[in-house]
Structure 1
Amino acid sequence: MFTIDTITFNTMITGFSREGLIEGAIKLFSKMQHYGFRPSDFTFAALLRACVGLDGTALGQQVHGLVIKTNFVQDVFVCNALLDFYSKHDYTEDMRKFFDEMPELDGVSYNIIITSYAWNGQIEESLNLFRELRLSKFSRRNFPFATMLSIAANTQDIEMGRQIHTQEFMTTADLEIQVGNALVDMYAKCGRFEEANVIFEKLAGKSSVPWTALISAYVQQGLNDEALKLFNEMRRNNVCGDQATFASTLKASANLALLYLGKQLHSCIISTGFISNVFCGSALLDMYAKCGSLKDANAIFRDMPERNTISWNAMISAYAQNGDGKATLRSFEKMVELGFNPDHVSFLGMLTACSHSGCVDEALQYFNTMTKTYKLIPRKEHYASLIDVLCRRGRFKQAEELMAQMPIEPDEIMWSSILNSCRIHKNQEFAKKAADELFNLDELRDAAAYVTMSNIYAEAGDWVHMAKVKKAMRERGVRKVPAYSWVEIERKVHVFSANDRTHPLNEEIRKKINNLAKRMEEEGYKPDISCALQNVDDGIKEESLKYHSERLAIAFALIRTPEGSPVLVMKNLRACVDCHAAIKVISKIVRREITVRDSSRFHHFKDGACSCGDYW
């Protein structure tokens, strides 16, 4: 160029900053000063944008000094760039001090600081500044509506969200894509899917963002089938998902234990180039683990080019749910060795592993490490897990002492865990206390507490009290959770229930079960009729045990799959003692590995033994 001026340098510095070529932008700024050109407001704004991409703040602070020296601190455009620089480096104290000292503020200044506080979880500060902004003279159309909606979404404050929506509507800001996407996200996360879908349908030029917001919200609300249907609709509309889309959809398939769908998503992730993304990799790992394929989960983890705390937590949880306590411990120690600080999820995985292995002392040690070494405040789920460890080992007094000391009230999950342990250890006295606490709750998720207590009475042969509990259950109007199991065969999910006598393959399955029963008897198996909790004769009890849902599913899988191939069964309730013993024998007879996922963990049966070591 024959002529170079300040505008030329500003254009070049801006271009280099936007492309992330930070070193080049800084060199251009030095060259500009060398030629004697005076920086303008655009120069400082572009240079500060480059400083945002640096790990440290030293250069940005030097630019701040130069801004003061050249008296550009009076320029609100430059000051906003400085404010943004401090906010992006999480220097909230310096950011607020600078904000309070700025000689002039505008709507952008408020947007930056409100958004920064929101990202740092300082919700009250964001709300106070937004109230202050509403009283200002600045244009309401440029208010940080998307940020405020994200706060309402994350706190599930529907009233706040609706107030923000009203203000947007009055300024027509809701027509902007970013605000529209935030509205969909807010209503969906608050569980108001009807309103979310109305706004979603009105959005012009939908990107993957609103699709993902809806999919993610469906998964969070446990509506996994709806999430998968929406993902398919998104694909039909030729909208390509991003890493967040795939992570949420994988979670839905993991929750439903749909391995074939998870594998299809795995292929999509490879074809779209997200396989190296750490979040997609962690979600894939979690999906394979929750579908009982620990081998595939290990392979994903081993091949990940980058790992973070989330991926390590996913691997720790995978081993814990599959009952491999030693591998859980190795993963935790390796994670710490590599410099990753364990968080709440890491310690929950360790406590779960201890619960599944009966390692009480180790669980207490990890709980102390979490609180004393890493200064993490235990959450409700940590207390619930530790109580479960203690009760499953019959240490009820210690569990009661912990419950008296903890800063939260015992909830339904804790009392249900205690009740189940009381059944294992025949502790009828403590079971009555736990049952009373559950029965007095305003709301119960289901009738599990009533069923467990009636089973405790049934096992003790106390049919009178069992009948009273069942009557109380009916009077309250809570429904018993039906037991069912399901298997994936030929890319289809087949559901089985002991109460379902209408299955078209019922006779074939019955024949298979009876043949297996003869061979099991030859192997020394004897039915445990204490698991048949009905007041009927022993012959009927023995016959009923044959048709528990997991045995129906296994029989069907043995009929429909090649000899020697593994069998994976998913079950919605805890496996009974008799079924556990029976499946061990079946795995030896048919020479197959049979994996059963019940309500809390995986059981891997092979050659007549189970991975849980008969402790679950």
Structure 2
Amino acid sequence: MKRLKQMTLHVFSVPFFRRSLHNSSDGLRHVDAHLIKTGFDPRTCNANNRIEIFLQTGRIFEARKLFDEMPLKNMFTLNKMISGYVKTDRLDDACQLFEESPDRTTVTWTILITAHSNRKQVSAKPDHVTFAALLGGCGCFPGGSGEGEDGSRLVAVQVHAQILKLGFGSTLMLVNTLVDAYCKCGFLSSARCLFDAVSLKDPVTFNAMLTGCCNHRMYGHVFDLFLEMHRSSMKPSHFTFSGVLAAATGTSDTRLGRQIHCFVLKVNFGWNVFVNNALLDLYSKFVGDDADDSSAGSTTMAEATKVFAEMEEVDCVSYNIMISGFARKEARFECVFLLRELWERTSDLKLLPFASVLTIASGEGDVEMGKQIHAIAILTNAASDLLVANALIDMYSKCGDLDSAGVIFEKMNERNAVTWTTMMSGFVRNGFYEKALQFFVDMRSSGMSVPDRATFSTVLRATANLASLGLGKQLHSYVIRSGHTANVFTGSALLDMYAKCGCMNDADQVFAEMPERNIVSWNSMISAYAQNGQGKAALRCFQQLIRCGLHPDLVSFLNILTACSHSGQVEDGLRLFESMTKLYNLNPRREHYACVVDMLGRVGRLDEAERMIKLMPFEADEMLWSSVLNSCRIHRSNSSLSKLAAEKLFSMDSIKDSAASYIMMANIHAAEGQWEDVGRVKKSMRDRGLKKNAAYSWVEIKQKIYTFSANDRNYLQVEEMKQLFEELKKKMAEEGYQPDSSCSLRNEEEDVKVESLMYHSERMAIIFSLVYTPTNSPIRVMKNLRVCLDCHAAIKIITKIVQREIIVRDSSRFHHFRDGVCSCGDYW
């Protein structure tokens, strides 16, 4: 990063330095030496300075003579010469020089178009320059009978017809401009036909076609055109390299990108800022040759840093690309360093990459940093920019400040699908699923176009968390009508929605019908099996993933370890955990160790779980100790470990505002009949102002939600439910059901405890569903807390009696009860 701290001499500042030192020969030599050292050609700079002086004093012929004699010219030379012709009313000479130049910038075009528009005597018959200027605007025309792109196409076709009518069809300058115009309008087929019909092509022809193919992601055609151009011995320009490097970036082909970089250096284009910016974009967006290598991304970012450090000239675009690249790698220090340097270099603060820097703030949940950037955006009037406003909404949402996100949303004069989707995603992330769905309805009411894959994925996530199967099926129909079923991200979201509603048959069907699957799809399917207690199916899916040629990532292993934990497949889980480092070169994270500890604890292997905790390269966190405490509660063993887990939990700052661990510890004491200890735990909760979350369950019947709370006996006033309740209680006793009073935290008489267990919310929901749903249809019950041991045993017996499948989703996982057996195998 040494180059970052050095001052860069701008090409336009050279004449001023030389003028200020015209009386000092030593000073001039020092300037020229610095120019040579940094890659500038002092001869070109000196010649440009002299041409400017000639033009300012009206010596146009001397300026042109010097122009022709220059061995190396740049765009400044060309634009200055054309401008000189225009200012001396020599428009024909300006147009001729324009036609002879293979490289042109927007400045070149602007000079010529302005000259034509200011011309006092306009010919009644348009010439080729007039048509070129008119076609230069295609791609931004709203006109014609269509709108946007369609209107531009109509204009391009009409102008083309006039060109042929007036006999300019063979003029190469107009052919090049037509190819460019058709590409910008999305008329690639017409552009290609025109390109192929031209017998004599120049580099501009190739560049126009190549850029058009690149902009429309036809990367294979870009490389073919580049090779054809090379075989024709045509000299590439910075437009050529920018296009082919953008295509390499689009294909994520690291090796090809490096080969093009070598060619850039070979033909001496390493000085060009536009080509170097394309190289920066190439390396900053690559993830490396090996997707499983965690250092690959940082390696390519190091290559981008090397290019940036060696650049002779850098601009705001260069900085923005680097900052965006570091933001994607979550490299906060580098982002802030470059941002400060850009701040010092530019006078226009609106050019700062606000969206990229906001990504860093949102990724780290640093709302204070986000607010500072927001303040700068307001001062520079950049906050009104749609891209920046969307990034601000995303930042505030990810930092949990939905009120500020909502204020920005309401103040926006313009919104697009990204704006709405970002707001919905914020609601989902913060648990406001109903609000996310309401925003989706509002989005459709606002006249917004058909939702894209990101919108569908977000709203399906909200539906999945609500476990609303009816709404999920409606959205599935909408996805089909909108033509997004083939999209891998929408398909993965649909799969996840069905899995979280307990509909594994539908999830399997969605996965089977996906035309394309990536690692996200496979991970979603493994996670679905894990949540629904189908450990063997999850293992088969994991093996299929490997056979398809994909490499499992950290998420894949977390899901398969969860599946093994939830189904008691300990040996398989331990083998897979060991393979992470030995076979796949992946370093397990804290959550992977927590999963293995949980897996060992569920089957009662608490001594091994304790050893695993000691071997961990991380400090055990709240999640891990909670898992240990729960395992001790279930197996009622290793009291020393349970006390250690409790001590560790209650010493953590994060646990002081959570009632869950206190409740778990109280359960352990209650199971041992240690009511004084239960009282002390409850007193600690009261002192901290903590309350146990009220348990409730809900069912969806005919697209209506019915909610039940513990000991709520209102529904039993309905005669049918009361009768079924008494009938089930009698038959359960006949089947050998023995209530487990240890599940009650109350220090009451045994019969009172047993009576209270009968009125747990999930049992009330099941009885209601048995009365009001069709016979033989599965019953789906959702609960906000974990199912207790007694209810788990009771529901198994109920399925034997009523001969219906009962699916219960609690705060931990799904339980599929059928014929007296649960899919969890009593590991939950």
SS of 1:135's equivalent?
A: helix
Which residue does the alignment assign to 2:46? none
Q: CA deviation at 1:583?
A: 1.4
Going from structure 1 to structure 2, the CA distance change for 1:70 and 1:226 (only over 3 Å counts) comes to same
2:798 matches 1:586: yes
Aligned to 2:545: 335
* Residues in 1 aligned to 2:244 and 2:416: alpha-carbon distance in whole angstroms: 31
Which residue of 2 is the match for residue 128 of structure 1?
337
Q: Give how far 1:49 is off.
A: 3.3
Conserved? CA contact 1:513–1:546, under 8 Å:
no
Instruction: Decide whether the 8 Å contact of 2:712 with 2:759 is kept in 1.
Output: no
Equivalences for residues 593-612 of structure 1 within 5 A: 593-612=805-824
- Paired residues of 2:568 and 2:825 also in contact (CA < 8 A): no
Aligned to 1:234: 443
Are the equivalent residues in 1 in contact too, given 2:622–2:654 (CA < 8 A)?
no
Shift of 1:393: 2.4
Match in the other structure for 1:292: 502
Q: Is the Cα contact below 8 Å between 2:464 and 2:500 reproduced in 1?
A: yes
Alignment of 1:467-478 (within 5 A): 467-478=679-690
Corresponding residue for 1:437?
648
How far did residue 75 of structure 1 move?
Answer: 3.3
* CA displacement, residues 22-62 of structure 1 (integer Å, 9 cap, x when unaligned): 45445555666777765444344334434434454666556
Aligned counterparts, 1:459-608, within 5 A:
459-503=671-715, 508-608=720-820
Out of 410, 420, 425, which is 2:630 matched to? Answer: 420
Q: 2:274 aligns with which of 74, 77, 97?
A: 77
Conserved? CA contact 2:783–2:810, under 8 Å: yes
Asked if the contact 2:716–2:722 (Cα under 8 Å) also holds between the matched residues in 1, the reply is: no
Q: Give distance in 1, aligned partners of 2:684 and 2:234.
A: 86
1:52 partnered with 2:275:
no
Structure-2 residue corresponding to 1:360: 570
Q: What letter matches 2:652 in structure 1?
A: L
User: Structure 1 residues 514, 115: closer, same or farther in 2, change over 3 A?
Assistant: same
567-576 vs 440-449, which moves further:
440-449
Moved more, 72-81 or 103-112: 72-81
Q: CA deviation at 1:304?
A: 0.8
Quick one: distance in 2 between partners of 1:391 and 1:213? Answer: 40
Amino acid across the alignment from 2:365 = Q
The root-mean-square deviation of aligned C-alpha atoms, in Å, is: 2.5
Number of the residue aligned with 2:480: 270
AA of the residue aligned to 2:568: G
Mapped contact 1:285–1:314 kept (Cα < 8 A): yes
3-state SS of the aligned residue for 1:493? Answer: strand
Residue in 2 that maps onto 1:166: 375
- For 1:42, the equivalent position in structure 2 comes to 239
Alignment of 1:2 onto 2:214? no
State the alpha-carbon separation in 2 of the partners of residues 233 and 389 from structure 1. Answer: 44
Distance of 2:505 and 2:518 partners within structure 1: 20
Which AA in structure 2 matches 1:79? N
Matched to 1:592, the amino acid is R
Match of 2:397 in 1: 188
- Call closer, same or farther: CA 1:498–1:78 in 2, change over 3 Å: closer
TM-score (normalised: structure 1): 0.93
Q: Is the 8 A contact 2:561 2:576 kept in 1?
A: yes
**Cα offsets for 1:391-417 (capped at 9, x unmatched):** 222222222222223233222222222
Residue 348 of structure 1, aligned match among 558, 580, 602: 558
State the distance in 2 between where 1:282 and 1:69 align. Answer: 45
The residue number in structure 2 matching 1:370 is 580
The separation in 2 between residues aligned to 1:602 and 1:547, in whole angstroms, is: 21
Aligned residue in 1 for 2:421: 212
Partner of 1:111: 320
Q: CA shift at 1:519, angstroms?
A: 2.5
* Consecutive unaligned residues in structure 1, runs of 5 or more: none
Partner of 2:603: 393
The count of corresponding residues between Structure 1 and Structure 2 is: 616
Match of 2:519 in 1: 309
Quick one: structure 1 residues 514 and 214, their matched pair in 2 at CA, closer, same or farther if it must change by over 3 Å?
A: same
CA distance 1:270–1:177, change in 2 (3 Å): same
Q: C-alpha deviations, 1:173-213, integer Å up to 9, x for none?
A: 22211111111111111111111111111222211112111
Which deviates more from structure 2 when the two are superposed, residues 502-511 or residues 164-173? Answer: 502-511
Report the residue type matching 2:627 in the other structure.
Answer: S
| Contact 1:587–1:606, Cα closer than 8 Å, also in 2 | yes
TM-score by length of 2: 0.70
Q: Distance in 2 between matches of 1:233 and 1:513?
A: 43
Give the distance between the partners of 1:574 and 1:540, measured in 2 at CA.
Answer: 22
Q: Which moved more, 1:486-495 or 1:163-172?
A: 163-172
Aligned equivalents of 2:546, 2:534: Cα separation in 1: 19
Partner Cα separation in structure 2 for residue 607 and residue 264 of structure 1? 31
* 1:39–1:389 CA distance, 2 compared to 1 (3 A): closer
Q: Deviations for 1:535-592, whole angstroms, at most 9, x for unmatched residues?
A: 3333333322221111100000011111111101112222223222221221122221
Checking the alignment, whether the CA contact within 8 Å between 2:526 and 2:541 is kept in structure 1 is: yes
Q: Is the 8 A contact 2:437 2:462 kept in 1?
A: yes
Asked whether the 8 Å contact 1:388–1:418 carries over to 2, the reply is yes
Q: Which runs of 5+ in 2 are unaligned?
A: 1-168, 174-201, 288-299
C-alpha deviation, 1:296, in angstroms: 0.7
Q: 1:19 to 1:351 in 2, by over 3 A?
A: closer
Identity of aligned residues (%): 52
Specify the alignment match of 1:221 in structure 2: 430
Shift in Å at residue 300 of structure 1?
Answer: 0.8
Deviates more, 1:79-88 or 1:65-74: 65-74
> What is the CA–CA distance in structure 1 between the aligned matches of 2:228 and 2:742, rounded to whole Å?
87
Give the secondary-structure state (helix, strand or coil) at the position aligned to 2:782.
Answer: strand
**1:334-383 Cα shifts (integer Å, max 9, x gaps):** 11121211122211122212222223333222222123322322222222
State the distance in 1 between where 2:600 and 2:258 align: 54
Residue 382 of structure 1 is matched in structure 2 by 592
Q: 1:49 to 1:508 in 2, by over 3 A?
A: same
Whether the 8 Å contact between 2:763 and 2:791 is mirrored in structure 1 is: yes
Retained in 1: the 8 A contact 2:696–2:707?
Answer: yes
Could you say if the C-alpha distance between residues 507 and 82 of structure 1 is closer, same or farther in structure 2, counting changes exceeding 3 Å? same
Q: Please name the residue that 2:659 is paired with.
A: 447
| Alignment partner, residue 208 of structure 2 | 11
CA contact (8 A) 2:558 2:595 kept: yes
Aligned-pair distance for 1:303?
0.7
Structure 1 counterpart of 2:587, one-letter code: I
Q: Which one has more relative contact order, counting CA pairs under 8 Å at least 6 apart?
A: 1
Change (3 A) 1:439 1:511: farther
Deviating more after overlay: 226-235 vs 555-564: 226-235
SS for the counterpart of 1:496 is strand
- Deviation of 1:298 (Å): 0.6
Decide whether aligned partners of structure 1 residues 394 and 163 sit closer, same or farther in structure 2, where only a CA change above 3 A counts.
same
CA distance in 2, matches of 1:61, 1:433: 55
Task: Give the match's secondary structure for 1:569.
Answer: strand
String of CA shifts for 1:135-154, please: whole Å, max 9, x gaps. 11353221211111112111
Change (3 A) 1:424 1:170: same
